[in-house]
């Protein structure tokens, strides 16, 4: 079956540090991959996505590259800010036999705290 595994948190960094949050997946076929972010007291927001191998999604200084050979979609940011403190979720969808997109499958989330 399809699944997503992401690194356990919490992750605590100082401002301007480099961030990596690991995400690996198991899926049949060719899934689309996503990173969502949840700020305190809010719902989830799409951060970035990639729909095929070697695609790089990017937004707000965050990047993730769809690596089919390692089944990974690690999230990176070169210099984090206090405002990046949130919970980050890796997720995937895979196409159904009928060609429609299946439901999102989420990882457990990684809490990031950035200290000034």
Partner 1 sequence: ETGVTQTPRHLVMGMTNKKSLKCEQHLGHNAMYWYKQSAKKPLELMFVYNFKEQTENNSVPSRFSPECPNSSHLFLHLHTLQPEDSALYLCASSQVESKRGMALHFGNGTRLTVT
- By CB under 8 A, is residue 107 in contact with partner 1? yes
CA dist 88 and 11 (Å) reads: 11
Residues 6+ apart with CB under 8 A from 112: 9, 10, 11, 12, 13, 19, 21, 80, 84, 85, 86, 87, 88
51 binds partner 1 (CB under 8 A): yes
Hey, CA dihedral for 97, 101, 103, 105, is it positive or negative? positive
When asked if residue 42 is in the footprint of partner 1 (CB under 8 A), the reply is yes
CB of 45 to partner 1, least distance (A): 7
Which residue in the set 1, 28, 41, 70 belongs to the binding site for partner 1 (CB under 8 A)? 41
Choose the stretch contacting partner 1; rule: CB under 8 A; options: 16-24, 36-44, 59-67, 75-83.
36-44
The binding site for partner 1 (CB under 8 A) comprises 32, 34, 36, 41-46, 49, 51-52, 89, 93, 95, 98-101, 103-104, 106-109
């Amino acid at each position: 079956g399809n699944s997503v595994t992401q690194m356990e948190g919490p992750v605590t960094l100082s401002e301007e540090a480099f961030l990596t949050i690991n995400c690996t997946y198991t899926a049949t076929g060719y899934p689309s991959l996503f990173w969502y972010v949840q700020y305190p007291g809010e719902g989830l927001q799409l951060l970035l996505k990639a729909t095929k191998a070697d695609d790089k999604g990017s937004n707000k200084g965050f990047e993730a590259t769809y690596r089919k050979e390692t089944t990974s979609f690690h999230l990176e940011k070169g210099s984090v800010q206090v405002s990046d403190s949130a919970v980050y979720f890796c997720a995937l969808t895979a196409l159904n036999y009928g060609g429609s997109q299946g439901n999102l499958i989420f990882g457990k989330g990684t809490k990031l705290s950035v200290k000034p």
